Structure 1
């Protein structure tokens, strides 16, 4: 068979690869991470409304029941790609698409819930910020978080892309010296170590074995 026409098998999509990621370092980056393996065959991690609810639970936000729609899911995916374009531009030293910046600025508009003081019989309490969100408020919260990350020189400098060419997940590196290479040592880091081990074993094997 001609090697140029030989089909490369698709990677097996395991439950671990489909798992939602909440370790990217910010709300917006956790949304960006809801599309896995951007460096190869992308893996959609919020493909259903149930998964959207699970993602919201994981980032500590609540949606109005009527806000959980396929339309919102589509809008979030569009927002996710604009956010990815913006942070990838910072990581790789390029300009983001003008359309991405315009979309992000547009969806930052609706004000997210603000904490309010409420009088009680014994003084005051703080409330109001934990009420369920509309779809637009959720998107605004994501974009405002992204703006906070990009507007903070220290956090902006901490943006990294995973060294795995399959993964390329973007995350905030809080370690001293910013020398973390992987989105997760448990995931991509261990996979890289295992691959190097296999390479060493193959190189050490006798010829023809």
Structure 2
């Protein structure tokens, strides 16, 4: 397995979809990209969230993976025009309840500052931020209409397509797009080769 396949993905266009992308290759043999506490810290840094140290635990990692699968179920249901699992919806609604910290304006000696922004989040606050992002995505007709599943049968990653005409077929041209084009090229060469060569 290459480092490229194990690499965390931050190119989906959404916080919630970036969490969903921590399980790669859903269409074949899944690749867990969020397998350790170090990877959890790396993912948090990649999405610009800071998790409180006391919540960087194996228990929280398990909760986050459960949330990830519920988010995948609901987002894929939108793309595939099918109902999601009632358990997924219930879990996401439960995890959306805690309020994330609210930034407040403060008066400083030099003018105005912001307090409470960028501080560490509890595990529940982080989950709430992820679910609220998914709810905002699904609730916005433009973003919802841009939700796609990668055409690669191995990948099936969810992403937002903001290209003109929304004709993007792969999560990444560099990754799945190039693989698909190379496979098609090999098929054409094999079909054109003389029999027995």
TM > 0.5 between the two? yes
Gap regions ≥5 residues in structure 1: 1-12
What does residue 66 of structure 1 align with?
54
Count of matched residue pairs: 197
**2:39 paired with 1:47:** no
- What does 1:1-209 correspond to in 2, within 5 Å? 13-209=1-197
Measured on the aligned residues, the alpha-carbon RMSD in Å equals 0.7
Q: Secondary structure at the match of 2:113?
A: strand
3-state SS in 2 of match to 1:95: coil
TM-score, normalization by structure 2: 0.98
TM-score (norm 1): 0.93
Indicate the larger mover: 153-162 or 198-207: 198-207
Secondary structure class of the residue paired with 2:107: strand
Distance 1:151 1:111 in 2: 19
Alpha-carbon distance in structure 2 between the residues aligned to 1:166 and 1:41? 8
Q: Secondary structure at the match of 1:160?
A: strand
Based on CA coordinates, which of the two structures has the bigger radius of gyration?
Answer: 1
Q: Please give the secondary structure, in 2, of the residue aligned with 1:126.
A: strand
Question: Residues of 1 paired with 2:36 and 2:63: CA distance?
Answer: 13
More deviation, 109-118/92-101:
109-118
How far off is 1:78 after superposition? Answer: 0.3
